[in-house]
Structure 1
Amino acid sequence: MAKSSADDDELRRACETAIENKQKVVLSMRVAKCTGMWNKAGKLGRGSAMAKPRVLAISVKTKGKRTKAFLRVMKYSNGGVLEPDKLYKLKHLSKVEVVSNDPSGCTFTLGFDNLRNQSVAPPQWMMRNVDDRNRILLSMLNICRDSGDLPKVVGIDIVEMALWAKKNTQAIPKPQQTSFQEGFTPVVITETDMQVTVEKELVSQAEEEDMEALLDTYVMDIGEADAFSERLKRELQALEAANVHAIMENETLIHQVLHGLEVASTCVEDMDEWLCMFNIKLRHMREDIESIEAGNNRLEMQSLNNKSLVEELDKLLAKLRMPAEYATCLMGGSFDEASMFDNMESCEWLGSALSSLEVPNLEPCFAKMRAVTEKHSELENMKSTYARRACDFLKKYFTGLVDFMLNDKTYFSQVGQLKKPDHADLRYKSRTYGRLLQHLKSLDKNFLVPLRRAYCSSMNMLLKREAREFAIELRASALLPRNPIVWLEGALNANQSTYEDTSTISEVYTLMLTVFIPVLADECSFFTQFMCFELAPPVPAEDDNNNNDDAGDKGYAGKPTLDMGALNESLQELLDGLQEEFFGLIDWAYKIDPLRCISMHGTTERYLSDKKFDQSGFVHMLLDDMESRIGMLFSRFVDDICHQIERNEKNLRQVGVLSYIPRFAVLATRMEQYVQGQSRDLVDQAYTKLVTIMFVTLDKISQADAKYADVLLLENYAAFQNSVYELANIVPTLVKFYHQASEAYEQACSRFITTIIYYQFEKLFNFARKVEDLITSINPEEIPFQLGVSKSDLRKVIRSNLSGVDKSVAAMYKKMQKNLTSAEELLPSLWDKCKTEFLDKYTVFSQLVAKVYPAENVPGVPEMREILASM
């Protein structure tokens, strides 16, 4: 017989290792766990899951005199190592059932009465053979019998199992390694602790012998069952009759027993009456005790409630109590600097007192009490009185500080001395009451509105006075040119050296911004913090490009708070009218030198791009207005120049280079000196507008005299190119117009040269054109026979145009020289182009003559080239 896995010591040690809680494994066997149903053929159904290898181990744990037994289900991990899966206590084993559908009888189920989910079918454990099944079941039944509670056994004959146990009490042979059911891994085990013991059998030896003797006595065939049944009935009747006879023989004893029972019954009835009486008394006593306990509980609860009520009333009284020193300070105290500490303490107490009398800091049930409402009204009245007194004092205080500075001339610029605004002393004195303003806002921020308005009004007068005095002294100290500068007017030979230096104007404007823009930004920032405006945190520098362009929201992230509208109104009152002082300085600079608008525009752009002024929204708006003002004045200047240029077309006769061409170069050169890397867009827009008007005006003037139109165009376009050549190398906008003038110059030159050539050799090249037109439709041999292009016509043309070709060429040169106003500059290049154009046309004529009139002699192309070269 194959060795059982219950005798595998290695398997038992592996189970003990997996348990790891110092329990001893008395039996371990490999089994197969299956959850499917057996069909009638004795096989697992199709829908059932595949059997899974498991190990059932019975372990015991000893603690003192108590011993606990457990049934453990072990499973194999991915690495083939045993690990715990399920744990059952054998004292809860209530049922052992062998599956009837398994013909081998090796499959059984175990039922436990402490499982939570009894609706789920228990797993089925399938053993290798019946011996292994009997071995593990007997081990569990023996342990359960020792604990005093045997489970219900279904599907197993107890007598048969007892006989098997008796038969297998001999020593189990040494284990042999064998293979288990397919799908399971065999493990070598030992037989230690796994031998079945029958010291406490289900049926004793004597009982078993009596049963065997009884069965041997009544060994019958199946046919004698009726006789056996009759015999048993007769013996049962005989036994009953003998029992009745024995009872009748003992009648005296029975009477004695009955008498004893009556006496006992009487005693029991008396005792029942006593117990009823005691029960009634105990019930009354229990009711009295409950009544006493209820009264004690009510008294204890009342005592606790009274204690809590006293504590709450003490707290409420503490909130309602007003210190005398605080009341005196709030209702009639002084606002001197020495008394500010007491004022701050009083304000803090008043704010906390008002907050403590409001829900949720105060219980809702107390909020409607008369004492609380009266005290709250008293505190509100005190708050209003104190806030009104503080606001009146601060308005007079701030106004007095500013009036003192306005009356002292040493705070402002004077003749020969520029005075930079210095508000350090004013801010130092104002900060003394900074905390007072914060407390006023916490008490009632509506009281701050008139105070802010008074502060802004006083500071606005001071700032305007400082800006006005500073600007006046700046203008007075500036070195100005003696004569006003007028662009695009005056002599034709005007150049850059005729204009005086006006850099002082730019320096004045730059100094004005350098001094006042930081001052105004600091004033806005100080006012925002000093007057307790709640704003969102500043936007980081990298996110500035995503800010809203609204002046009131610049420099603040997220949605504006409720104070943003009030802040915008206050800042507008603070800075209102200051732009006029800056505008006056800009207008003054424009009247002296309009081109200084370029440098002023660049300076303003530099301040606009400075991130530290973004948080001062109205300072940013002031800079925007100044930039717009400068741009508007510069556009007016450009429009005036355009108007001066357009007036040239009204003249009856225009020859030579127009006056605005060289003057534009002077103007552009000076503008580039003022740009200095800034205001590029402003200057480029001016270039575009001016040059466009110049070219349009030039075209209109040229159309007035068609005879000299090309000469006027080429001379002026050439003059434009020569005058802006150096600037076009560094200014991209002028490069575009330079190329435009170059193309217009080439077109005018081509038209002018063609006119000069045709003036002397019109018949010659008209004849050539007729021949070119005919050669496309008829053969060259037939052309001499056509009207107007015969050989005699050709000879007439040659005699009239080529007989004195050197004189004709000289006349052509003189004609060109006569028409050009600036002959010294343009004549050499134009004459070279004219000779080249004439030679090209004559080459075409010579080729046509050689092709159509081969017998005719005309001067050759080399000969004509020599004649032209000699001129």
Structure 2
Amino acid sequence: MTAIKHALQRDIFTPNDERLLGIVNVCKAGKKKKNCFLCATVTTERPVQVKVVKVKKSDKGDFYKRQQTWELRDLTEVDAKDASKENPEFDLHFEKVYKWVASSTAEKNSFISCIWKLNQRYLRKKLEFVNVSPQLLEELPKAEESVPSGESQSVAGGDEDSLDEYQELSAREEQDIDGMMEMCEYAISNAEAFAEQLSKELQVLDGANIQSIMASEKQVNILMQLLDEALTEVDTIEGKLSTYEEKLQSVKDQMDQISQSNRLIQISNTNNGKLLDEIQFLVVNYIYVGHIRALQEGDLTSPKGIEACINASEALLQCMNVALRPGHDKLSAVKQQQHLFADLRDTFARRLTNHLNNVFVHQGHDQSSTLAQNTAELTLPKHSPLHRDLLRYSKLMEWLKNTHKEKYDGLSRTYVDYMSRLYEREIKDFFEVAKIKMAGTSKEAKGKFATLPRKESALKTETESKCHAQRLFHLNKWLLLCFFAIFIFEQVLSELEPLCLAEQDFISRFFKLQQHQVVVPPLAQPETEEPNGGTQMRIPHHTEQRQSLSSEKDIVRVMMNKIFQSIETELNSLIALGDKIDSFNSLYMLVKMSHHVWTAQNVDPASYLSTTLGNVLVTVKRNFDKCILGQISRMEEVKISKKSKVGILPFVTGFEEFAELAETIFRNAERRGDLDKAYVKLIRAVFTNVEKVANESQKTPRDVVMMENFHHIFSTLSRLKISCLDAERREAKQKYTDHLQSYVINSLGQPLEKLNHFFEGVEARVAQGVREEEVSYQLAFNKQELRKLSKNIQVVWHSMQDEFIRQYKHFEDLIGRCYPGSGITMEFTIQDMLEYFSSIAQSH
């Protein structure tokens, strides 16, 4: 550090006529450490200017440069952070606060000490030193105070010299020493001789001084005489002052008495003022007679009486919660008021609890009288009148919660007990009516559906688009009839949701279980008995018992679970009935229940309604999965008679009906993913069982079974456009194409086999006595079946045509390669074949 100080003095401060007095190695607090130096300097010229200079190494690192300069007079405060522990951090308050971290605590202390000394020596405005050890702030010696400003310097930051130990020579002293040294040529070469000469001259000067003093003895005698005369005058003045003091002593005694009287009067006024404040404090926190009357005998049935009781209870709670000042609890009047407050609190709590208990019981019994007519219309009774009447007491319930928690809890249990019985009766009767309506409507729908024509006989239009429109018409008609039971399920949910939401909102508002913290007042504590049999209010310290938001929600949910404990059971029973009526009902129930759960979770994910509907949704999802497994099981159980021919398999048309129904129900539904998974399971089962039946069929060729059924599957998937089954649609098309080609190859010469079988059946019906004009109304021999067979014949015919042409070219190629030059050719050409097939098609 010494080398750095000398370098800084030489390179930076000497050219600017400045002296370096203190230095510290620092970096800025809280930033990337970039070291620099803070230097305390003074100018060599007068008036002396004291500065704090920030010096930093250049980027190349070969020299130092001045970066920033502050005047010491602009410094307002020095904060050393900690006076008792070693801490290298300190702050300098200029126009803004500069935070520094020194390389060591010793350097920081040395620099702060230097700043303090410069402030004491050169500045009129004294700085404020905060958190600085008193040992660093020692006063400068009085001898130095007489030294002119700018005539001493020191280098702090590690040197032993300081501002107190070094004094520089004045200009006149320097001139005298220079002149003396010029008179002695050997002053520099022989310092001892020069010092000896100076000593002799000093002795000569001392002798001259002594002679001068002896010569001035006469003046000294005169001076002593004058001093004696002055002492005589002083004695005279002191005598006069003693006289004056004796005269003023009586005045002083009188003034002391007056002062003592004034002080006593002031103390009395102060005490009277304090006593008045205490009296006013106690009087202000006194409960009025009107409030006492309202608490003791106020009407709890009329709105006006309830409002008076609310105001009185709030005033009582405010008086009980007043923080008494020290000593008030020893006053008998205060004790009496506390006993009065406790008696009023207990009396009103009993009155309020008894009244609300009676209200709960009365309302619980009255509501059941209107139950029958409401359930007959499949609607639940509305409890809004009860809620409206009880909400008038919500502020009183809050008061009871804050003062008598045990009575508040008792009222909560009473309400839950009576309302759970009431809701259980209402909900049970409501669901009984819903089950009766659902079962009766389903029988009616099944009867009406049985009279409808089947899809195959109903599609009598000429074009495929009209046939599809007819199918959709009958599908929608079947939905309106057979699924009316599901509308009953939707109506049940529509009745239950507002009922639960209204009850939950009422419980939160009436029992004050909203989203806030609950504070139990300090005076709401149990009473203790005195030895004489009386009661005394226990006044504990002011403590707060807070309930978190989650616990408030838990209380509401527990109350709702007890009140509506039968809803989940009844819903599951209704769902089981709907599933028993028709397993396809689970599809619609899954969609509707998912929508209701999604809506409830958006309102409050942790509410009773959301939790209950979520549990019921699990049951509906299980029924849906069971329905899908049932479909697959029925596919696997299909048995084909060995003597009967196989056409479009029943589970293939069953999948078509299921897909049309599902697409109608699940349009824009939240649980579309569940249907897509079911689709994949069903279509894979369809594929597997089609191949199984085709392999087992003995009457119908395997290729025909595969071709017809996969063509039907491909047409169904192409029409419905189910995106998750795109891969299966392409696979069905490929299987249909492969088996069509195989059938054409293996069945050449027998293109009209199915048509022959068809007309053989027609002839058999006529032989059995069926009139010829009524044959077309037979299910298996209607016009649609004939038209379908005709289309299939055309498809097979074109495929046979392509296969004939392909084989003809193949045969001609073999003749050309195996029998060259033989002149053997086919007796007919490709053109002859095309004309032959064309003539057949035209005639057909």
Q: TM-score normalized by structure 1?
A: 0.55
CA distance in 1, matches of 2:123, 2:614: 87
State the 1:464 CA deviation. Answer: 4.4
CA distance in 1, matches of 2:305, 2:740: 93
CA contact (8 A) 1:419 1:470 kept: yes
- Are the structure 2 counterparts of residues 286 and 365 from structure 1 closer, same or farther at C-alpha, using a change threshold of 3 Å? farther
1:632 maps to 622
2:730 maps to 739
1:438 maps to 398
1:687 maps to 679
> 1:116-135 alignment to 2 at 5 Å?
none
1:658 maps to 649
CA contact (8 A) 1:662 1:723 kept: no
2:631 maps to 641
2:549 maps to 560
CA contact (8 A) 1:598 1:682 kept: no
CA distance in 2, matches of 1:240, 1:585: 135
Which amino acid in 2 is paired with 1:346? A
> 1:282-297 alignment to 2 at 5 Å?
none
CA contact (8 A) 1:484 1:593 kept: no
- Are the structure 2 counterparts of residues 827 and 418 from structure 1 closer, same or farther at C-alpha, using a change threshold of 3 Å? closer
Asked if 1:717 is matched to 2:710, the reply is: yes
Residues 656-712 of structure 1, C-alpha deviation per residue, up to 9 Å, x if partnerless?
A: 321222233234333434445435445444433322221121222233359943332
Residues 327-354 of structure 1, C-alpha deviation per residue, up to 9 Å, x if partnerless?
A: 5654565533253234223311321122
> 1:327-342 alignment to 2 at 5 Å?
327=292, 329-330=294-295, 335-337=300-302, 338-342=304-308
CA distance in 1, matches of 2:11, 2:577: 107
Match for 1:526 among 493, 506, 511?
506
CA contact (8 A) 1:319 1:353 kept: no
State the 1:528 CA deviation. Answer: 0.9
CA contact (8 A) 1:714 1:744 kept: yes
Asked if 1:413 is matched to 2:406, the reply is: no
1:310 maps to 275
- Are the structure 2 counterparts of residues 493 and 304 from structure 1 closer, same or farther at C-alpha, using a change threshold of 3 Å? same
Asked if 1:854 is matched to 2:803, the reply is: no
Which amino acid in 2 is paired with 1:336? T
CA distance in 2, matches of 1:290, 1:718: 130
CA distance in 2, matches of 1:719, 1:307: 108
- Are the structure 2 counterparts of residues 565 and 237 from structure 1 closer, same or farther at C-alpha, using a change threshold of 3 Å? closer
- Are the structure 2 counterparts of residues 260 and 525 from structure 1 closer, same or farther at C-alpha, using a change threshold of 3 Å? closer
1:749 maps to 740
CA distance in 2, matches of 1:441, 1:524: 19
CA contact (8 A) 1:710 1:748 kept: yes
1:402 maps to 364
1:703 maps to 695
Residues 298-325 of structure 1, C-alpha deviation per residue, up to 9 Å, x if partnerless?
A: 8578647744663465357548866565
CA distance in 1, matches of 2:223, 2:834: 178
Instruction: Determine helix, strand or coil for the equivalent of 1:739.
Output: helix
CA contact (8 A) 1:402 1:462 kept: yes
Residues 379-413 of structure 1, C-alpha deviation per residue, up to 9 Å, x if partnerless?
A: 45653453344223212212212311213457x42
1:452 maps to 412
> 1:430-579 alignment to 2 at 5 Å?
430-471=390-431, 476=437, 479-482=441-444, 484=446, 497=474, 500=478, 501-502=480-481, 503-535=483-515, 560-579=549-568
Which amino acid in 1 is paired with 2:628? V
Match for 1:621 among 611, 615, 620?
611
Q: CA RMSD in A?
A: 6.0
1:32 maps to none
CA distance in 1, matches of 2:223, 2:613: 129
Which amino acid in 2 is paired with 1:688? V
CA contact (8 A) 1:727 1:734 kept: no
CA distance in 2, matches of 1:320, 1:241: 93
2:42 maps to none
1:791 maps to none
- Are the structure 2 counterparts of residues 631 and 828 from structure 1 closer, same or farther at C-alpha, using a change threshold of 3 Å? same
State the 1:533 CA deviation. Answer: 0.7
CA contact (8 A) 2:287 2:316 kept: no
Structure 1 residues without counterparts, runs of 5 or longer: 1-35, 38-43, 53-69, 74-84, 88-110, 125-151, 159-231, 538-557, 757-808
State the 1:734 CA deviation. Answer: 4.9
- Are the structure 2 counterparts of residues 243 and 112 from structure 1 closer, same or farther at C-alpha, using a change threshold of 3 Å? closer
State the 1:837 CA deviation. Answer: 4.4
Match for 2:309 among 310, 319, 343?
343
CA distance in 2, matches of 1:47, 1:612: 75
CA contact (8 A) 1:595 1:674 kept: no
- Are the structure 2 counterparts of residues 562 and 610 from structure 1 closer, same or farther at C-alpha, using a change threshold of 3 Å? closer
- Are the structure 2 counterparts of residues 444 and 753 from structure 1 closer, same or farther at C-alpha, using a change threshold of 3 Å? same
CA distance in 2, matches of 1:271, 1:364: 63
CA distance in 1, matches of 2:423, 2:356: 20
- Are the structure 2 counterparts of residues 72 and 856 from structure 1 closer, same or farther at C-alpha, using a change threshold of 3 Å? same
- Are the structure 2 counterparts of residues 860 and 385 from structure 1 closer, same or farther at C-alpha, using a change threshold of 3 Å? farther
- Are the structure 2 counterparts of residues 633 and 458 from structure 1 closer, same or farther at C-alpha, using a change threshold of 3 Å? same
Instruction: Determine helix, strand or coil for the equivalent of 1:433.
Output: helix
CA contact (8 A) 1:649 1:700 kept: no
Which amino acid in 2 is paired with 1:524? Q
- Are the structure 2 counterparts of residues 754 and 377 from structure 1 closer, same or farther at C-alpha, using a change threshold of 3 Å? farther
CA distance in 2, matches of 1:262, 1:122: 41
Residues 265-292 of structure 1, C-alpha deviation per residue, up to 9 Å, x if partnerless?
A: 6x56965995998899899999989997
Number of aligned residue pairs: give it.
Answer: 602
Instruction: Determine helix, strand or coil for the equivalent of 1:648.
Output: coil
Which amino acid in 1 is paired with 2:568? Q
Q: TM-score normalized by structure 2?
A: 0.56
> 1:103-502 alignment to 2 at 5 Å?
154=172, 267=232, 303=268, 306-307=271-272, 310-311=275-276, 313-314=278-279, 317-318=282-283, 326-327=291-292, 329-330=294-295, 335-337=300-302, 338-356=304-322, 361-363=323-325, 366=328, 376=338, 379-380=341-342, 382-409=344-371, 412-413=373-374, 415=376, 417=377, 421-471=381-431, 476=437, 479-482=441-444, 484=446, 497=474, 500=478, 501-502=480-481
State the 1:469 CA deviation. Answer: 4.6
CA distance in 2, matches of 1:598, 1:569: 32
Residues 799-827 of structure 1, C-alpha deviation per residue, up to 9 Å, x if partnerless?
A: xxxxxxxxxx6x46578989999864544
Which amino acid in 1 is paired with 2:374? S
CA distance in 2, matches of 1:752, 1:309: 117
Asked if 1:832 is matched to 2:822, the reply is: no
Paired-residue identity, %? 16
CA contact (8 A) 1:480 1:504 kept: yes
- Are the structure 2 counterparts of residues 260 and 367 from structure 1 closer, same or farther at C-alpha, using a change threshold of 3 Å? closer
CA distance in 2, matches of 1:444, 1:237: 104
- Are the structure 2 counterparts of residues 240 and 688 from structure 1 closer, same or farther at C-alpha, using a change threshold of 3 Å? closer
